[in-house]
Amino acid sequence: MLKKTPIAAGITALATIFIAGGCAVADADKTDKVDYTAMTPHELAEYLVFEANGGGFNLSQEVQEGGTALERMQQNELQEACSLIDDADPDPETAAAIRAAAAESIVYPEGGIQLGDWERGRELTWSGFGYRIGHKVDDHTKEEAGGTCSNCHQLATDRTGGNLGPSLTGYGKTRGTSDAMLKYAYDMIYNPHVYFPCTHMPRFGANGMLTQEKIADIMAYMFDPESPVNE
Ligand code: HEC
């Protein structure tokens, strides 16, 4: 029924279509008579990417980091390895290779890992702006890209976060701010595959979504005693 392609099999494909193509389902409804309820999530994603609306998502459209949507969807080795095992835990050898590749991708700030401005960090953890394509392409000259952390994590209790990832409420208060702890958090944000091979958490530093400065601000929100996360 559906075209099977290596790209579409990837978690990246799913993530990209759900993050980037928020309106795809609604549009497909208007023009296509297909039974979405009979599809697995993978089939639905493939359908939306490749077939809906006579040809699928506009993969030739330009993306903010340069290149096209199709190019963004080309998986790197780490993503390919994780897609191949389809949500299972990687075997020890693959896990070690993924950790090593992730470790190599991490670039540390010149003056060491410092905490930035928690108030800015608060906005960044909440914001889902940035890198979205589809019907309304995010204009990075108007607003800066955020971190989408709250989509998956509960942080301060004044806002409701997601639960795909563990709660980070009270993070600094319970974990402390030792150098090792700050490095762990920085690594987790930059490329979490170094600790959790094939995690669903994005590689915010390695994929260029967050700068070192933004990571410092987000870390301040997580660790600063003044931050509402640590109330
Ligand atoms: C798509 C969901 C998702 C997003 C978005 C996300 N995370 Fe995560 N995060 C996870 C998951 C899942 C884990 C647990 C690791 C695992 O089991 O794969 C995790 C783990 C963590 C941990 C380690 C928690 C611990 O117990 O020490 C930290 C720190 C963290 N995330 C911070 C962040 C920050 C900061 C952001 C935003 C820049 C963020 N995450 C965005 C899914 C996400």
Calpha distance 137→144 (Å, rounded)? 13
Q: Tell me whether residue 152 is exposed, middle or buried, using C-beta atoms within 10 angstroms of its C-beta: 0 to 12, 13 to 18, 19 or more.
A: middle
Write down the residue that tokens 């075209």 correspond to: 3
Question: Does the beta carbon of 149 lie inside 6 Å of ligand 1?
Answer: yes
Range with the poorest average pLDDT among 14-23, 79-88, 140-149, 179-188: 14-23
Distance from Cα 163 to the centre of ligand 1, integer Å: 10
Distance from Cα 166 to the centre of ligand 1, integer Å: 7
Q: For a pocket test of ligand 1, which of 127, 152, 187 has the largest count of ligand atoms closer than 8 A to its C-beta?
A: 152
- Answer yes or no: is pLDDT of 221 > 90: yes
Write down the residue that tokens 């890198």 correspond to: 131
Distance from Cα 168 to the centre of ligand 1, integer Å: 9
Per the rule left: phi > 0, alpha: psi between -120 and 50, beta: everything else, 228 is alpha
> Measured at the alpha carbon of residue 225, what is the angle toward residues 175 and 190, in degrees to the nearest 5?
55
Question: Does the beta carbon of 15 lie inside 6 Å of ligand 1?
Answer: no
For ligand 1, atom 39, the nearest C-alpha belongs to 149
Atom from ligand 1 closest to the CA of residue 195? 15
What does the radius of gyration of the chain's CA atoms come to, in whole angstroms? Answer: 19
Atom from ligand 1 closest to the CA of residue 222? 35
pLDDT band at 49 (very low <50, low <70, confident <90, very high): confident
Calpha distance 222→91 (Å, rounded)? 32
Closest CA to 221 of 109, 144, 146: 146
* Structure tokens belonging to residue 2: 């559906």
Closest CA to 70 of 2, 133, 24: 133
Check residue 24 and give its pLDDT.
44
Render pLDDT for 202-219 as a digit per residue (tens, 0 to 9): 999 999 999 999 999 999
Render pLDDT for 12-46 as a digit per residue (tens, 0 to 9): 444 444 444 444 444 445 555 789 899 998 889 88
Question: Does the beta carbon of 148 lie inside 6 Å of ligand 1?
Answer: yes
Q: For a pocket test of ligand 1, which of 201, 214, 219 has the largest count of ligand atoms closer than 8 A to its C-beta?
A: 201
Range with the poorest average pLDDT among 6-20, 164-178, 199-213: 6-20
- Please give the mean pLDDT across all residues of the chain: 86
pLDDT band at 54 (very low <50, low <70, confident <90, very high): confident
Render pLDDT for 118-139 as a digit per residue (tens, 0 to 9): 999 999 999 999 999 877 889 9
Cα 132 to the center of its chain, rounded Å = 12
Check residue 216 and give its pLDDT.
98
Write down the residue that tokens 């906005």 correspond to: 123
Write down the residue that tokens 């999530």 correspond to: 41
Q: Are 139 and 130 in contact (CB under 8 A)?
A: no
Task: Report the pLDDT averaged over residues 89-118.
Answer: 96
For ligand 1, atom 26, the nearest C-alpha belongs to 166
pLDDT band at 9 (very low <50, low <70, confident <90, very high): very low
* Structure tokens belonging to residue 203: 């590689």
* Structure tokens belonging to residue 177: 């701010």
* Structure tokens belonging to residue 172: 């600094």
Comparison of pLDDT for 3 and 69, the residue scoring more = 69
Question: Does the beta carbon of 196 lie inside 6 Å of ligand 1?
Answer: yes
